[in-house]
Structure 1
Amino acid sequence: MPRNFDNDPPLPFPILIGDIGGTNARFSILVDVYAEPREFPIVQTAAFKTIDDAIQQSVLDKTSIQPRSAILAIAGPINGDEIPLTNCHWVVRPRHMIANLGLEDVLVVNDFEAQALAIASLADEHREQIGSAADTLLASRVVLGPGTGLGVAGLVHAQHTWFPVPGEGGHVDIGPRTERDFEIFPHLDKIEDRVSAEEVLSGRGLLNIYHAVCKADGKKPKLKTPADVSTAALSGDDDLAVEAVSLFATYLGRVAGDVALIFMARGGVYLSGGISQKIIPALHKPEFRAAFEDKAPHTQLMRSIPTYVVTHPLAALAGLAAYARTPSSFGLATEGRRWRH
């Protein structure tokens, strides 16, 4: 049976659930273990001075339900009583929330821990399979999210329990393999003379690849934004954009395969975030799975690992709700990240 590894009592219901990104914040309230979360409109972080203001005005002022606790997923390091977000002006102050918002208990976790929690039990309707590998094993999984950056997390399955493992896997090195790669890589923007996965597998990374393809071919870039590149590629209107997205899918397949090997993720690799959803047609082409499986001497193993795009619109909130309902099913570390009245 699942065990409570940290011996903390469950969060008391009703529970406020929040997924806080650099641009948008998403909130819901879980009234009890059996209820479906009550969702609230997505809000822009720039519209509110503090996260407390956002919670008060966009959630608490809109409902008669008074949450007793909160679990918040944020993009940023969690260290101490003041937690700044990486790409947002908000600072999460759990003690202030307890004092000012009527909460008794606040738990703060990493944003990709929430994504990892979500993929523990994602229904078929909320994932699109890429490739034909069968989903037959209850085994460790991995989630990658190309977006503003590249988020990576593992979900290790052991002792009938899911253990989310966040990290900074988006900053691993990535290098050229093919002749075309060697033409393109000298033109990629770098950080301190190296190409990290995030520099090619993110919104700015897609634009980085597109500009490098243009330079390699001596062409002037015409497209200005990542959305321009993906749209032109999927419509077939721009050959350079088509190649850029094809290379993006190839490099994503390589990194996804590397992370799958690190975690022995025989339960599957999940691609989250808006970019993955937008380029699903490109991911269905052969390049992604070919790069994913090209891991000799373990090609046969890689062919057996399924890959998916997460299509759930609020996956992180769903993951946090799953934890809130049955915390004993997850080995989620709370030490230094939970504040109680």
Structure 2
Amino acid sequence: MLKYPDTDHQPFPILIGDIGGTNARFSILIDAYAEPKDFPVLKTADFPNIEDAIQSGVLDKTSLQPRSAILAVAGPIAAQEIPLTNCHWVLRPANMRQSLGLEDIIVINDFEAQALAVAALSEDSREEIGSVGKVQVASRVVLGPGTGLGVAGLVHVQRRWIPVSGEGGHVDLGPRTERDLSVFPHLERIEGRVSAEQVLCGRGLVNLYRAVCVADGVKPTFGDPADITTAGLSGSDSVAVETLSLFATYLGRVAGDLALTFMARGGVYLAGGISQKILPALQKPEFRAAFEDKAPHSALLRSTPTYVVTHPMAALAGLAAYARTPTNFGVATEGRRWRG
């Protein structure tokens, strides 16, 4: 059972890392008052392991020597070895602490970091979808289509923000409309089921596009999610346009389900690069319509705000906020902190 809280500061400078399935982002926080020093985004496929990435991409490029680290990773944290869900890296924090000369390492889920960001980011780091009004200091949800579909909750208790990690991106996603019923039989499945992540991520966008093509008897033109997004936003390809519309609809349905699960009166926040890239599609009526269509609780959803997080390094900003003032957050560290 995880214990709350472990609120003592890590020693500065602190290495901060956000490691996803495709990209790894790092910065160093010199002290509690400084702005983080950022480093170029690294491709995880370019390095055999995280130690080589940190050495080559961070330590070899600065005279700063971090004394501790907070790392957010795409995958559940369990035991002494942490395999990433959509990446070949396996983290071994005890070994990392010694090989990189660190005194203290904390490892949390990547969407816990996104949840921390949601608690810390200013208004100019988000774009509201729809118009509901002032944000309440209340439970929130963050989800983000990217390499996969990340989900986390954020609960406000006793003046402290507590991130709640999970694997909510793997919940079932099913058809509701006649159009859904014509498309869903052609979606690629995992062991017979369609999870939200099978549709609401980069490869899921391609999966959805191909299913629409098969349903309409059309030969697919695109095989890359960026090409589908570009054609859908520009209106140059009718199948890509519908694919983005359905993507926004299904994302709205899942976001609404999660808002009900967490009673997220503080809002639902869409994080990640895909959400930012398809912002014009999310601003159309389909997303909010699907989000609010939750009878008998449609009124509750109509009063729940939704946002796209526009900060380019949101997870790192969330980790930095936690590093500066750990007493403001209830981050579970038992079994996830390695120190001498």
Query: Structure 2 length normalisation: TM-score?
Result: 0.96
Matches of 2:166 and 2:160, distance apart in 1: 19
Instruction: Specify the SS of the correspondent of 1:78.
Output: coil
Which shows bigger deviation, 156-165 or 77-86?
Answer: 77-86
Which shows bigger deviation, 115-124 or 248-257?
Answer: 115-124
Q: Deviations over 1:2-29 (max 9, x none)?
A: xx93245221111110111222211111
Give the CA deviation at 1:299.
1.3
Which shows bigger deviation, 87-96 or 280-289?
Answer: 87-96
Q: Which residue type is aligned with residue 77 of structure 2?
A: I
Q: Which residue type is aligned with residue 60 of structure 1?
A: L
Partner of 1:39: 38
Give the CA deviation at 1:50.
2.3
Tell me if 1:142 matches 2:141. yes
Q: Which residue type is aligned with residue 270 of structure 1?
A: Y
Partner of 1:213: 212
Partner of 2:119: 120
Q: Which residue type is aligned with residue 74 of structure 2?
A: A
State whether residues 71 and 108 of structure 1, in contact with CA within 8 Å, keep that contact through their aligned partners in structure 2. yes
Computed over aligned residues only, the root mean square deviation of the Cα atoms, in angstroms, reads 1.4
Partner of 2:271: 272
Tell me if 1:316 matches 2:312. no
State whether residues 155 and 164 of structure 1, in contact with CA within 8 Å, keep that contact through their aligned partners in structure 2. yes
- Number of matched pairs: 338
Q: Which residue type is aligned with residue 296 of structure 2?
A: P
Instruction: Specify the SS of the correspondent of 1:128.
Output: strand
Instruction: Specify the SS of the correspondent of 2:120.
Output: coil
Give the CA deviation at 1:174.
1.2
State whether residues 78 and 337 of structure 1, in contact with CA within 8 Å, keep that contact through their aligned partners in structure 2. yes
Q: Deviations over 1:20-63 (max 9, x none)?
A: 12222111111111111011111222322321122122222222
Q: Which residue type is aligned with residue 226 of structure 1?
A: P
Matches of 1:189 and 1:88, distance apart in 2: 21
State whether residues 135 and 305 of structure 2, in contact with CA within 8 Å, keep that contact through their aligned partners in structure 1. no
Partner of 2:251: 252
Give the CA deviation at 1:303.
0.9
State whether residues 7 and 326 of structure 2, in contact with CA within 8 Å, keep that contact through their aligned partners in structure 1. no
Partner of 1:12: 11
Matches of 2:15 and 2:224, distance apart in 1: 35
Q: Deviations over 1:47-103 (max 9, x none)?
A: 223211221222222222221110001112222222222222222222222222221
> How do 1:51-200 residues align onto structure 2 when only pairs under 5 Å count?
51-200=50-199
Q: Which residue type is aligned with residue 161 of structure 1?
A: R
Give the CA deviation at 1:273.
0.9
Matches of 2:172 and 2:320, distance apart in 1: 34
State whether residues 12 and 31 of structure 2, in contact with CA within 8 Å, keep that contact through their aligned partners in structure 1. yes
Partner of 1:230: 229
Identical positions, percent: 72
Matches of 2:6 and 2:288, distance apart in 1: 41
Q: Deviations over 1:106-153 (max 9, x none)?
A: 111111111111101221221111100113311111011111111110
Matches of 2:57 and 2:199, distance apart in 1: 36
Instruction: Specify the SS of the correspondent of 1:119.
Output: helix
State whether residues 135 and 267 of structure 1, in contact with CA within 8 Å, keep that contact through their aligned partners in structure 2. no
Instruction: Specify the SS of the correspondent of 2:119.
Output: coil
Relative to 1, partners in 2 of residues 1:223 and 1:57: Cα closer, same or farther, differing over 3 Å? closer
State whether residues 5 and 328 of structure 1, in contact with CA within 8 Å, keep that contact through their aligned partners in structure 2. no
User: Which residues of structure 1 form unaligned runs of 5+?
Assistant: none
Q: Which residue type is aligned with residue 137 of structure 2?
A: L
Matches of 1:282 and 1:83, distance apart in 2: 36
Q: Which residue type is aligned with residue 143 of structure 1?
A: V
Matches of 1:97 and 1:44, distance apart in 2: 19
> How do 1:276-315 residues align onto structure 2 when only pairs under 5 Å count?
276-315=275-314
Partner of 1:201: 200
User: Which residues of structure 2 form unaligned runs of 5+?
Assistant: none
Partner of 1:243: 242
Matches of 1:96 and 1:68, distance apart in 2: 15
Matches of 1:207 and 1:9, distance apart in 2: 45
Q: Which residue type is aligned with residue 334 of structure 1?
A: T
Q: Which residue type is aligned with residue 140 of structure 1?
A: S
> How do 1:317-332 residues align onto structure 2 when only pairs under 5 Å count?
317-332=316-331
